[in-house]
């Protein structure tokens, strides 16, 4: 059931579609609806802005539907510990610096203990490579590799990943622990990470 206010709005819309009166100075004064009532300039501006926003929303929706535009979450630098964020007592022992990827020069901290590299899903990872890979070229598995800092040393182990883990262009076999030193380059797919101690 439409009230007189609702009918007035539909009449304004019909009036916008019909005619626009221009006066001597080129200023839009009013729109004429079926009943001959005039529309105030502020209403005209409001209707035009609303229409433009609607068109922009349709354009973004169409781009997303055709896969031209995607929204992805930002990479986080928070270390989950049993599903919780890092405690303040944790000290960063080393860093991985992205030298090749979607966001070069990004840094990921390495903490004492185990640090899992991969793509976050239901199970959290410490170093999420999701933001570093192109959406059409995903190489990292959910739990791809693990970097361990213990007894003052750093090592990496491949977790039986599909596409492998490389250190200085040498492939690491699943289950094999490879010692890491400063300036070593870890490669997972097309993402290259440099070790900074």
DSSP string, 62-87: HHHHTTS----PPP-----BTTBPPP
Cα–Cα dist 71/4, whole Å: 42
Segments making up each domain of the chain, as ranges: 4-65, 92-196
The bridge status of strand 113-118 relative to strand 19-22 is unpaired
CATH classification for the domain delimited by 92-196, as one of 2.60.200.20, 2.40.10.10, 2.40.50.140, 1.10.10.10: 2.60.200.20
Better-predicted residue by pLDDT, 134 or 186? 186
A 10 A CB-CB count for 32 gives: 16
pLDDT digits (tens, 9 = 90+) for 62-97: 888 877 776 655 444 444 434 334 444 457 889 999
Query: Any residues with CB less than 8 A from the CB of 96 and at least 6 apart, and which?
Result: 107, 108, 110, 127, 147, 186, 193, 194, 195, 196
CB contact burial 59-73 (16+ within 10 A = b; e otherwise)? eeeeeeeeeeeeeee
Mean pLDDT of 19-42: 50
pLDDT digits (tens, 9 = 90+) for 91-132: 788 999 999 999 999 999 999 999 999 988 777 888 998 889
* 111 within 8 A of 126, measured Cβ to Cβ: yes
Is the pTM higher than 0.75? The answer reads no
Cα–Cα dist 174/49, whole Å: 58
Q: What is the pLDDT of residue 84?
A: 38
Task: Report the first-to-last Cα separation within the chain, whole angstroms.
Answer: 71
pLDDT at 53 over 70: yes
Question: For residue 120, what are its two tokens?
Answer: 């976050």
């Amino acid at each position: 059931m439409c009230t007189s206010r609702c009918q007035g709005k539909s009449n304004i819309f019909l009036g916008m579609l019909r005619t626009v009166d221009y006066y001597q100075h080129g200023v839009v004064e009013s729109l004429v609806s079926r009943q001959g009532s005039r529309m105030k300039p502020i209403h005209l501006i409001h209707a035009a802005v609303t229409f433009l926003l609607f068109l922009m929303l349709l354009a973004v929706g169409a781009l997303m539907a055709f896969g031209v535009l995607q929204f992805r979450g930002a990479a986080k630098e928070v270390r989950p510990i049993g599903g919780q964020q890092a405690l303040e007592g944790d000290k960063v022992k080393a860093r991985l610096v992205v030298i090749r990827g979607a966001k070069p020069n990004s840094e990921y901290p390495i903490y004492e203990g185990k640090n899992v590299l991969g793509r976050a899903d239901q199970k959290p990872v410490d170093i999420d490579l999701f933001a570093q890979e192109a959406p059409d070229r995903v190489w990292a598995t959910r739990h791809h590799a693990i970097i361990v800092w213990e007894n003052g040393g750093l090592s990496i182990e491949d977790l039986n990943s599909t596409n492998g883990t490389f250190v200085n262009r040498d492939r690491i076999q699943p289950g094999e622990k490879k010692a890491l030193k400063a300036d070593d380059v870890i490669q997972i797919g097309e993402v290259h990470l440099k070790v900074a101690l």
